[in-house]
Chains A and B, each alone.
Chain A
């Protein structure tokens, strides 16, 4: 993997990540990338339910979230996390990259989407953009009144 300039956010030395994927390999691979970007893997989860619990417990700076998972899918987990934590920064990482999925995830409050197999340089750019984006998106259905 190429060398990356360490990612940072303000005066925070390391960006803390929660990596959510039902595949051990996907988690391992994403964690390796996060570390190469100078980030810290604060925790991992293998399904949407555990992701919600781990988010509440760890309050990570950024979540990398798969979509197709057992128990609870990623899009539903995004909706629940963002409902409780509107400031949550979630990037969807899925092999299923069709419009409906991307749109649904963004409408529920995800900040970005990347399709698997993930190229480290592409993920790096997305993370850099998302951590520096100061706007809090309003999920669809909120603030419409």
Chain B
């Protein structure tokens, strides 16, 4: 996977964590994974289709998810598990939205789908044919993990090019 696809997600996660959780996120580990299935905490997945396609999985430590929920709700009460899941969905929406905006500025066209809570129980289809880059970040509230499983849709890009020529 090319760095040009990854860097916008790193920048975006850093900015969104700083804005929403009021803390910094430092990369602690980067690894390749065959499928985006390394769920350890509370995770949400956003799918992308178009000239680039695949999915991005945002996986937060429970304490980090609850911190995000507290910041987003502006409530001092301890967030429920449902609130933490909802917060991770909204966070993933922001991280992916900001990243794809940067990619779009570089000329890539695609559609972003609404985030879904990710479960390893099989409620979402796995993208087994796309290699994922797993980026682990540390924050003062716990880990944040980003699985980026994207590939260029060459067929789709060729279709768009020929359509614009004809």
Task: Identify the A interface with B (CB < 8 A).
Answer: 22-26, 28-29, 32, 68-70, 94-100, 115-117
What chain B residues lie within 8 Å of A68 (beta carbons)? 93, 97, 112-114
Known: A96-B100, A97-B98, A117-B19. A29 touches B114 (CB 8 A): no
A-B contact count (CB 8 A): 61
15 A-B pairs, CB-CB below 8 angstroms?
A22-B114, A23-B90, A23-B93, A25-B69, A25-B86, A28-B73, A29-B72, A32-B74, A68-B113, A95-B96, A96-B112, A98-B100, A98-B105, A115-B98, A117-B19
Residue of B16, B86, B93, B109 with highest tally of chain A CB at under 10 A: B93
What chain A residues lie within 8 Å of B101 (beta carbons)? 95-98, 115
Judge whether B73 and A29 touch: CB under 8 Å: yes
What chain A residues lie within 8 Å of B119 (beta carbons)? none
Judge whether B97 and A24 touch: CB under 8 Å: no
Which residue from chain B places its CB closest to the CB of A28 in the assembled complex?
B73
What chain A residues lie within 8 Å of B86 (beta carbons)? 23-25
Question: Which of B81-111 touch A at CB < 8 Å?
Answer: 83, 86-87, 89-90, 93-94, 96-98, 100-101, 104-105, 109
Min CB distance B69 to A, Å, is 7
Judge whether B73 and A94 touch: CB under 8 Å: no
B20 at interface, CB cutoff 8 A: yes
Which residue from chain B places its CB closest to the CB of A71 in the assembled complex?
B114
What chain A residues lie within 8 Å of B89 (beta carbons)? 23
What chain A residues lie within 8 Å of B93 (beta carbons)? 23, 68, 95, 116
Min CB distance A68 to B, Å, is 5
Which residue from chain B places its CB closest to the CB of A98 in the assembled complex?
B104
Known: A25-B90, A28-B73. A69 touches B114 (CB 8 A): yes
Known: A25-B86, A68-B114. A116 touches B97 (CB 8 A): yes
User: B74's contact among A22, A24, A26, A29, by CB below 8 Å, is which?
Assistant: A29
Query: Considering the chains assembled together, what is the distance between the CA atoms of A144 and B73 in angstroms?
Result: 45
